[in-house]
Structure 1
Amino acid sequence: MVAWLAEQGHPVIPPSPLVPREPVQRDGFSMTFWQFTEIVEDVEPDYVRNAGLVADLHRALRDYPGELPFLSAAEPQMITDSLDDLEARPDLLDPADLDRARQQWQVLEPLVTSRAAFEAEFQVDLQPVHGDAAPFNIVPTPDGALYADFELVTIGPVEWDLAAFGPECEASYDTRARSLGLRELDERVLRFVNAVGELRSVACLALVPQLPMLAEAIKPAIDEWRATPFTGGLSG
């Protein structure tokens, strides 16, 4: 897809030409390689501005001719497997929290794994999306802002790319989407994608034995998850 975007003249960081265009596994982790690009280091990330730029990316992606899976960026099998693994690690996730997470996943999993179930629930159009916190992956370079990190590109609702970025970013996206003739973000779908994102954070606790630094990094997200409504307001 990135090569296609570049051919269409869209500002992206392409894969590295030095190695095959495929993930490389090492020590149980996957890596991908991208073309070296100079970053303007003294520019503070402007996620509100970047959220508006995501609408431009979505307009470009609408015409992508290739086939993509539905919401693969949610990594549903990873969530299921990680919740199973966490049952044996009450030191990482309290049993009461694990029970809550499993109840939430019972409601959310069918909507993540079935396009038909999702479309019946939400009635919004789907299209190719970036898949991985798109406003975060727009980087400043001497040649302008470039879109980066397309490993998780998928078919899904545009809301997936704005998950967890908050009202200011959502408003910035909506303003730019209107100017491009695209639909604005749907509030129910936003609650859904935020709920899935929170469960992915919980599931990441299963990686703490391999990456101990994750324990502290994920803690704020876990605290926020405990304080949010069950499955973003969706019912089972």
Structure 2
Amino acid sequence: MTDAESSGRTLSTRAELAVRLATTAGRRLGLRADEPRVLHDVFNVLVHLAPDPVVVRVPTLALTSAAEQAAKQRDELAVAGWLADRGARVVRPSPLVPREPVEIEGKSLTFWEYVHEVDALGDLSEADPGRLEEHFTQQAGWTAKLHGSLAEYPGELPTLSPLVPALGPALAELRSRPQSLTVADLDRAEREYAALETLVRDLPAYFPGARVQALHGDAPFYNVLRTAEGYLFNDFEDVTRGPVEWDLTLAGPRGIAEYERVSGTRIDPDLLSAMEGARLLQIVGALAVVPKMPELGPMLEPMVAQWRARTELTLPERA
């Protein structure tokens, strides 16, 4: 939902498809979509249907069916819409169309309000490391406030759904097309996934003090847009229920300290470590989409190397 348009660049095949699908779906809903612009093209393609203030998220790399995508998106729209209706600082579903996913040609699309971002970091690989740390530390504090709102969410959500069952199809795909993974890597990944399945079935049995609630689901402090009117949390597509530590796996020591300061609560270091291992396994699973997006492989390899160097994820003794 930003203004960081990839202008002047040749659109990828994914982006060309996304523009066509977003434009067609938007016009069916009564939008003009005269000047569609690609804002973002990685795991999802974001298309601004200018001149209307609407951004369409098109999941071009999903390994699941449109029906499965739509089920997940209904949770996303419900949570983001509920937060927006309560005045929380989030990008809201577009008020110009119904709050429902739109299925078209095997894809399920969602429609969001366009907002203009200021103070964008641009290419994170080229940003000043000190500025990055300050930026994300502050946003970890904002995450504490987001969690305070999400703790009151009244709806039902699955537990740690970005892990279980989402990782299952990805690991199955990697078993047949392993990319850079060895047989030993695949065996380890499947053992870790089995441990996560056990954890999801009865998380309090292993971490009885966990704060289990509705979560953003995907490192919310990275998914913040800074606008002239203030910050807005964005991208709730992995919304789930789970321990707050799942949302903090990439925060780093300063981010954790800021979160604890703002929230007035302590983060469980053992549970955080387990969730960090789970996050790395999720990144390993993302290798499954490399055949659709080859340039993603080199981007993921440093994190895959971290996963290999880390002690294998296992569960503690039951409480």
Q: TM-score normalised to the size of structure 1? A: 0.87
- Aligned counterpart, 2:238: 152
Q: Deviations over 1:130-167 (max 9, x none)?
A: 11110011211000111111222221111111112221
1:209 Cα deviation (Å)?
1.1
- Aligned counterpart, 2:48: none
- Aligned counterpart, 2:140: 51
1:91 Cα deviation (Å)?
4.1
Rounded to whole Å, the distance in 2 between the matches of 1:82 and 1:7 is 35
Question: Is residue 78–residue 203 contact of structure 1 (8 Å, CA) maintained in 2?
Answer: no
Alignment CA distance shift 1:167-1:232 (3 Å): farther
Q: Which runs of 5+ in 1 are unaligned?
A: none
Q: Does 1:98 align with 2:214?
A: no
Q: Does 1:200 align with 2:282?
A: yes
1:31 Cα deviation (Å)?
4.0
Moved more, 102-111 or 218-227: 102-111
- Aligned counterpart, 1:71: 160
Moved more, 37-46 or 127-136: 37-46
Q: Deviations over 1:174-213 (max 9, x none)?
A: 11111xxxx3211111011111111111111111111212
Give the secondary structure class of the aligned counterpart of 2:205: helix
Q: Which runs of 5+ in 2 are unaligned?
A: 1-78, 122-130
Question: Is residue 55–residue 173 contact of structure 1 (8 Å, CA) maintained in 2?
Answer: yes
Report the identity percentage. 40
**Which protein, 1 or 2, shows the higher relative CO under an 8 Å CA cutoff with sep ≥ 6?**
1
Q: Which has the larger radius of gyration?
A: 2
Higher strand share: 2
What is the RMSD of the two structures over their aligned residues, measured on CA atoms? 2.2
1:62 Cα deviation (Å)?
1.4
1:151-230 to structure 2, matched below 5 A, reads: 151-178=237-264, 183-230=265-312
Task: Give the number of aligned pairs.
Answer: 228
Rounded to whole Å, the distance in 1 between the matches of 2:263 and 2:279 is 23
Q: Deviations over 1:26-85 (max 9, x none)?
A: 6766543210001004566611000011110111111122222222232x2332222222
Kindly provide the amino acid, as one letter, of the partner of residue 186 in structure 1.
Answer: D
Give the secondary structure class of the aligned counterpart of 1:168: helix
Higher helix share: 1
Alignment CA distance shift 1:21-1:225 (3 Å): same
- Aligned counterpart, 2:216: 130
Q: Does 1:8 align with 2:68?
A: no
Q: Does 1:34 align with 2:112?
A: yes
Give the secondary structure class of the aligned counterpart of 2:237: coil
Q: TM-score normalised to the size of structure 2? A: 0.66
